[in-house]
């Protein structure tokens, strides 16, 4: 007779000393792990609930400005340095890590319209309502800045500034669009195309000769510095406030429009936008892309910040606080982790880009657990419970009500159009897609 | 697949097909360019990448079987002998001392005994009909508690950990901790005859002498559901460990499967023509064995609810059945216990044991080669080589669990508690596409076609104004309203009809001006 009965040596299964970790033998036989699907679903449900519990996006508030914040400027190489300009002409330099103001000084008479850092990060240029372009030295000491390095007095009003990605060239907009070299006091080029005021100008970070402006005649104008004149122009139903280029795709930019929407354009086909991003309930004031080029953040007059995915029509996130008033400027930090917002009530706020993300160093097991729950959430994303919880956002009453109102308005328009279509000759009332509805005309 | 280690290219260990099949997650999505139903190229690419990940996971998990340390127990007969003839005594003499210590007999006097092992097989609770309850770590023979409840006992069951167990007493179910202190008295479980604990749902299920089934969520202390099953006295009840359904055998030979979500059984199987005497489900949910007083034992495929796979007669009626993790089936007939192994075509007796007294309950110990039996005069454990799974998963159930590990595992298990709503026949239903609701939607849409216009119940306002009232006026208004509602219904029907009717009509020949003489149906399509 040959016989063997299971006997386990406890020494192989128990830890030797109390300082050891417990031994955990694994057997991945599926028969030993029943209810795999149901347990995964439960875990997914738990993790999506935890995500909502941990969603505390507000990091901090930078106080100090004595008037509304008009513009923000990110440092190209230092994550902690941010410059901000206010409506009273004051510029402040901030250290985000310490949440302190390094220095502040009165730079212009009237509103500061824009600040840009030169590519080296040593100097910054500011423009204001006093028609001057001032170049300053960026110093880390807290000594007050006394004098600009250089002051250029422009012939025309300046409302915006943008710096070339690599060369010491910057462009300003106002009555006309000017191209400047950092060392010269006269613009090297001037572009004009039948408009008397331009609101915003942005250099393309990839195709670095291209830049675009938003004009007061509801148009967006594209320029190429190598060409003699402007390239193209597209008219929209309402005015565009700001625009932002996708830092990863040279052909894509998104503009914040007065009609509560954002539009993503492909410059090869300006006639219809690639995507319409709806969700704001008032004019969108500013937009900024994440460095990955997959998402962007927008700030609106409805006192809320929304984060959109580039290929989605609706926002994935909305941030608001009771103290935050109308947004004036937005920024997405270059480490893709934070969002900076400047608003009317003189404060700069720092937010997390992913609301429930844990800040700081993650231990490997923590990271693995987070990855696991992320995968589960993705797997069960279509389940009604999980979808509902992950999508739910509490918004202020005025936004909630305004949304409902906008919905009824939209329904009414659609209904009316459908009725018209039904009662008129075939093809007399054509169907116009939401994307092409807001573009009036394209000029080349 | 090849891995290069230190400049040398080494082939990875090949995996056998059986192992791959064991860990297989099912067929993937059809992504071949010709036959796929997914039109979008980008989505197809994404899914392809995912499929690769899934396939690699299957391979990797199959490969981890190399790392398993323990081997199955076995018993081989010498030439001219058969395994059935070996007595427990002989086996005990031939195994090592630690295994031999696992064979023991307790002679107790509080008569017929019911036993249950914990899920990790380390602890044993026994309840005697005359009120004796004892919980012990049977490996070290360390007694946790021993009490007499001074009432009749009908069944015992562990809860999710070894510090709590439930006892079905004369009237009510009581929960005790491992020191024998009464924690709860569940009066809503009245005259219970069978107890089962569903560990992943934290449900204590009971079947009563009056036919009531009840599920208690022990994590929150709430009754999930309780109703009369209308099958009479529940004497045979077991759980299907893979889908947490209760299998209840009744006197008419029907095994019905119950979930707390429905007052009717989700499935019924007519297994025998007489009463079902015993019912056992394989721990991995593949087979169910049932027995009947007419000496028959049948094995059913419980996943497809089909069978019997095997059906045959034994020498005496089988009163108790129990499945081991490796698929061995123990049958108790009077005081004889026989263990069968399922070979490819036939069930063969593997071991036989003659107990001193009638066997009253029986359970294979998980992760051990042990069969525990309760008799009218005590409890004993038998060595059945090859019955237990040798390699346990430390995160699922660990026989060597320490106190801190147990606490950790309890919290984890509570976080993963499956809601009772998810109990249904198919355990993977939650991860699949919900086609049934979609079908329902289409059906309701189609049922609109058979609607009749609403009946108008019109009651006119009484007006005293001259020339406004009058029967004629009322009749007229009624007629108008009826006509309106009929039109509305027709409109609705037309809309659904136009949506559902996507067949292409044949283009008709154009007769120019003579088209007006065509039949109406043809004109429409032109």
Rounded to an integer, the average pLDDT of B457-476 is 74
H/E stretch holding A61: strand A58-62
8 Å CB contact of B430 and A38:
yes
Interface of B with A in 19-48 (CB under 8 A): 22-23
| CA separation for the pair B488, A352 (Å, rounded) | 54
Interface test with B, best of A2, A30, A35 (most B CBs within 10 A): A35
Which residues lie closer than 8 Å to B432 by C-beta, 6 or more apart? none
Positions of chain A with pLDDT under 70: 140-145
Closest to A44 in 3D by CA, of B422, B342, B401: B422
pLDDT at residue number B439: 83
CB burial of residue A414 (10 Å; 0-12, 13-18, 19+): exposed
CB contact under 8 A, A41 and B427: no
Residue B500 has pLDDT above 70, yes or no: no
Contact B385 A5 (CB under 8 A): yes
**Which secondary structure element, helix H or strand E, spans residue A13, and what is its range?**
helix A10-13
What is the distance between the alpha carbons of residues B188 and B170, in angstroms, rounded to a whole number? 13
Homologous superfamily, domain B83-422: YVTN repeat-like/Quinoprotein amine dehydrogenase (2.130.10.10)
The answer on pLDDT for B524 being more than 60 is no
Residues of A in contact with B56 (CB under 8 A): none
Question: Locate tokens 């299964």: which residue?
Answer: A13
Split at pLDDT 50, 70, 90, the class of B526 is very low
- Cα–Cα distance list, B413 to A169, B204, B402 (Å): 62, 15, 16
B392–A28: do the CB atoms touch at under 8 Å? no
Contact: B393, A25; criterion CB under 8 Å: yes
Task: For residues B79 and B101, give the distance between their C-alpha atoms in angstroms, rounded to a whole number.
Answer: 28
pLDDT in tens, B39-90: 889 899 999 999 999 999 999 999 999 999 999 999 999 999 989 999 999 9
Contacts of B494 (CB under 8 A, 6+ apart): none
Cis peptide before B308 (omega within 30 of 0): yes
pTM for this predicted structure? 0.87
Instruction: Report, in this order, helix, strand and coil percent for chain A, each rounded to 5.
Output: 20, 35, 45
Long-range contact pairs involving B402-411 (C-beta distance under 8 Å, separation at least 24) = B402/A14, B402/A22, B404/A22, B405/A22, B406/B161, B406/B162, B410/B160, B410/B161
Q: What pLDDT does B474 receive?
A: 81
Within 8 A of A41 by CB-CB distance, chain B residues are 422, 430-431
User: How many Å separate Cα A82 from the centre of its chain?
Assistant: 16
Query: What is d(CA B185, CA B198) in angstroms, rounded to the nearest whole number?
Result: 19
8 Å CB contact between A279 and A306: yes
pLDDT of B462 strictly over 90: no
Phi, psi dihedral angles at B63 (to 5 degrees): -70, -25
Token digits of residue A341: 């917002």
CB < 8 Å from A in window 235-274 of B: 241-242, 244
Q: Are A254 and A310 in contact (CB under 8 A)?
A: yes
| pLDDT level of residue B518 (50, 70, 90 thresholds) | confident
List all residues 6 or more positions away from B155 whose beta carbon is below 8 Å from its beta carbon.
Answer: B114, B127, B167, B168, B192, B193, B194, B195
A6 to chain B, closest Cα gap in Å: 5
The string of DSSP letters for B234-291 reads: --EEEEETTTTEEEEE-TTSEEEEE-TT-SS-SEEEE--SS---EEEE-TTSSEEEEE
Please say whether the dihedral angle defined by the alpha carbons of residues A328, A333, A334 and A337, taken in this order, is positive or negative.
negative
Mean pLDDT for chain B overall: 89
CA–CA–CA angle B332, B245, B412 (5° rounding): 105
Residue pair B140/B150 in contact (Cβ under 8 Å)? The answer is: no
Tell whether the model's pLDDT for residue B7 goes beyond 70: no
Q: Report how far residue B216's alpha carbon sits from residue B468's, in angstroms, rounded to the nearest whole number.
A: 67
Q: Is B455 exposed, middle or buried (0-12, 13-18, 19+ CB in 10 A)?
A: exposed
Interatomic CA distance for residues B172 and B186, integer angstroms: 6
Interface with A, mutate which of B394, B407, B491 (most A CBs under 10 A): B394
**Both tokens of residue B264?**
């009717």
- Of B321, B330, B326, which is closest to residue B352 (Cα–Cα)? B330
For A271-290, the pLDDT digits (tens) are: 999 999 999 999 999 999 99
Q: Is residue A439 within 8 Å of residue A276, measured between CB atoms?
A: no
Kindly provide the residue ranges of all beta strands, DSSP E only, lying in A355-398, ordered along the sequence.
Answer: none
The contacts of residue B442 (CB under 8 Å, 6+ apart) are none
DSSP helix/strand/coil, A228: coil
Question: pLDDT tens for residues B414-427?
Answer: 999 999 999 999 99
Q: Tell which residue, B119, B220, B212, B123, has the closest CA to residue B173.
A: B212
**Span of A299-313, B164-178, B297-311 with lowest mean pLDDT:** B297-311
Q: Is B362 on the interface with A (CB under 8 A)?
A: no
Q: How far apart are CA B295 and CA B334, in angstroms?
A: 12
* Residue B511: predicted pLDDT: 82
Nearest to A24 among B23, B391, B395 (CB): B395
Residues of B in contact with A32 (CB under 8 A): 389, 392-393, 396
Taking one residue from A and the other from B, the number of pairs with CB-CB distance under 8 angstroms is 141
- Separation CA A27–CA A14 (nearest Å): 17
Q: How many Cβ atoms sit within 10 Å of the Cβ of residue A349? A: 22
Q: In the predicted model, is pLDDT for residue B302 greater than 60? A: yes
> For position B196, what pLDDT does the model report?
96
Query: Which chain A residue lies closest to B72 (C-alpha atoms)?
Result: A6
Question: What is the ipTM, given to two decimal places?
Answer: 0.84
A53 touches chain B (CB under 8 A): no
Q: Are A251 and A284 in contact (CB under 8 A)?
A: no
Of all residues in chain B, the one with the smallest CA distance to A11 is B400
Q: Is the predicted pLDDT of residue B4 greater than 60, yes or no?
A: no
**Where do we find the tokens 């007519």?**
B270
* The two three-digit tokens of residue B279, written as one number: 């019912």
| CB contact burial A172-204 (16+ within 10 A = b; e otherwise) | bbbbbbbbbebeeeebeeebebebeebbbbbbb
Q: Least CB-CB distance to B396: which of A3, A5, A32?
A: A32
Q: What is the pLDDT of residue B525?
A: 47
- In this predicted structure, what is the pLDDT of residue B505? 57
A16 touches chain B (CB under 8 A): no
Phi, psi (degrees; rounded to nearest 5) at A135: -105, 130
Is B78 at the interface with chain A, CB within 8 A? Answer: yes
The residue of chain A nearest to residue B19, with distances taken between CA atoms, is A29
């Amino acid at each position: 007779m040959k016989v063997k009965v299971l006997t386990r040596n406890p020494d192989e299964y128990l830890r030797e000393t109390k300082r050891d970790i417990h031994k955990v033998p694994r057997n991945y036989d599926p028969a030993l792990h029943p209810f795999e699907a149901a347990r995964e679903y439960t875990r997914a449900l738990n993790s999506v609930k935890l995500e909502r519990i941990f969603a505390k996006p507000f990091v901090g508030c930078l106080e100090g400005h004595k008037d509304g914040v008009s513009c923000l400027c990110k440092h190209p190489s230092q994550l902690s340095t941010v410059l901000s300009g206010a409506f009273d002409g004051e510029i402040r330099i901030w250290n985000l890590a310490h949440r302190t103001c390094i220095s502040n000084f009165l730079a212009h008479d009237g509103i500061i319209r824009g600040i840009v850092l030169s590519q080296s990060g040593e100097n910054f240029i500011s423009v204001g309502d006093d028609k001057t372009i001032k170049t300053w030295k960026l110093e880390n000491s807290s000594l007050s800045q006394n004098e600009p390095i250089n002051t250029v007095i422009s012939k025309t009003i300046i409302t915006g500034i943008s710096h070339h990605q690599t060369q010491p060239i910057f462009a300003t907009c106002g009555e006309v669009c000017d191209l400047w070299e950092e060392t010269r006091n006269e613009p090297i080029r001037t572009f004009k195309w039948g408009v008397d005021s331009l609101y915003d100008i942005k250099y393309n970070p990839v195709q670095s000769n291209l830049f675009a402006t938003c004009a007061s005649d509801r148009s967006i104008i594209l320029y190429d510095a190598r060409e003699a004149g402007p390239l193209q122009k597209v008219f929209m139903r309402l005015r565009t406030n700001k625009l932002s280029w996708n830092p990863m795709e040279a052909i894509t930019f998104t503009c914040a429009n007065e009609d509560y929407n954002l539009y993503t354009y492909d410059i090869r086909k300006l006639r219809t936008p690639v995507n319409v991003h709806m969700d704001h309930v008032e004019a969108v004031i500013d937009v900024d892309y994440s460095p990955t080029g997959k998402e962007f953040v927008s700030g609106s007059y409805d006192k809320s910040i929304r984060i959109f995915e580039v290929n989605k029509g609706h926002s994935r996130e909305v941030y608001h606080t009771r103290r935050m008033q109308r947004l004036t400027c937005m920024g997405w930090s270059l480490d893709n982790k934070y969002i900076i917002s400047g608003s009317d009530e003189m404060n700069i706020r720092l937010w997390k880009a992913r609301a429930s993300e844990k800040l700081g160093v993650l231990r490997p097991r923590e990271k693995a657990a987070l990855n696991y729950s992320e995968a589960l959430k993705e797997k069960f994303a279509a389940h009604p419970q999980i979808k509902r919880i992950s999508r739910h956002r509490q918004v202020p009453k005025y936004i909630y009500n305004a949304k409902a109102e906008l919905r009824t308005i939209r329904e009414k328009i659609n209904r009316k159009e459908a009725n018209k279509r039904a009662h008129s000759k075939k093809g007399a009332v054509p169907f116009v897609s939401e994307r092409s509805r807001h573009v009036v005309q394209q000029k080349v | 697949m090849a891995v290069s280690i230190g400049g040398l290219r080494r082939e990875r260990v090949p995996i056998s097909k059986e192992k791959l099949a064991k860990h297989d997650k099912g067929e993937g999505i059809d992504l071949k360019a010709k036959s796929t139903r997914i039109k979008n190229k980008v989505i197809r690419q994404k899914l392809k990448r995912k499929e690769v990940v899934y396939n690699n996971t299957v391979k990797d998990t199959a490969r981890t079987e190399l790392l398993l340390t323990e081997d199955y127990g076995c018993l081989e007969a010498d030439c001219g002998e058969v395994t059935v003839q070996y007595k427990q005594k002989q086996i005990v003499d031939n195994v090592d001392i630690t295994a031999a210590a696992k064979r023991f007999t307790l002679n107790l006097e509080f008569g017929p005994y019911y036993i249950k092992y914990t899920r990790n097989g380390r602890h044993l609770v026994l309840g005697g009909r005359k009120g004796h309850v004892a919980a012990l770590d049977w490996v070290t023979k360390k007694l946790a508690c021993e009490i007499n409840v001074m009432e009749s006992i009908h069944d015992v069951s562990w809860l999710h950990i070894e510090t709590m167990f439930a006892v079905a007493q004369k009237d009510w179910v009581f929960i005790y901790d491992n020191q024998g202190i009464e924690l709860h008295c569940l009066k809503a479980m009245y005259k219970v005859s069978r107890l089962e604990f569903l560990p992943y749902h934290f449900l204590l299920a009971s079947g009563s002498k009056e036919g009531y089934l009840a599920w208690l969520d022990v994590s929150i202390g709430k009754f999930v559901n309780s109703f009369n099953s209308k099958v009479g006295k529940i004497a045979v009840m077991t759980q299907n460990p893979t889908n947490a359904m209760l299998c209840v055998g009744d006197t008419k030979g029907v095994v019905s499967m119950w979930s707390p979500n429905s007052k009717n059984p989700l499935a019924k199987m007519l297994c025998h023509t007489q009463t079902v005497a015993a019912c056992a489900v394989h721990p991995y949910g593949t087979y169910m064995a049932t027995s009947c007083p007419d000496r028959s034992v049948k094995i059913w495929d419980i996943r497809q609810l089909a069978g019997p796979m095997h059906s045959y007669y034994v020498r005496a009626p089988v009163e108790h059945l129990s499945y081991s993790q490796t698929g061995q089936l123990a049958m108790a007939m009077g005081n004889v216990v026989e263990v069968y192994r399922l070979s490819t075509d036939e069930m063969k007796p593997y071991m036989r044991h003659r107990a001193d007294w009638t066997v009253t309950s029986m359970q294979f110990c998980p992760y051990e080669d042990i069969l525990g039996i309760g008799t009218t005069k005590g409890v004993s454990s038998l060595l059945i080589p090859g019955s237990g799974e040798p390699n346990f998963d430390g995160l699922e159930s660990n026989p060597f669990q320490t106190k801190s590990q147990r606490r950790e595992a309890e919290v984890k298990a509570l976080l993963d508690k499956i809601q009772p709503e998810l109990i249904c026949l198919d355990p993977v239903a939650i991860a699949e596409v919900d086609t049934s609701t979609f079908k329902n939607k289409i059906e309701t849409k189609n049922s609109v076609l058979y609607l009749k216009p609403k009946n108008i119940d019109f009651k006119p306002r009484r007006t005293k104004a001259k020339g406004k009232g009058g029967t004629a006026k009322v009749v007229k208004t009624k007629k108008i309203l009826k006509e309106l509602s009929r039109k509305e219904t027709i409109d609705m029907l037309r809309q659904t009809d136009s949506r559902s009717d996507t067949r292409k009509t044949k283009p008709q020949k154009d007769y120019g001006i003579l088209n007006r003489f065509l039949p109406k149906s043809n004109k429409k399509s032109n």
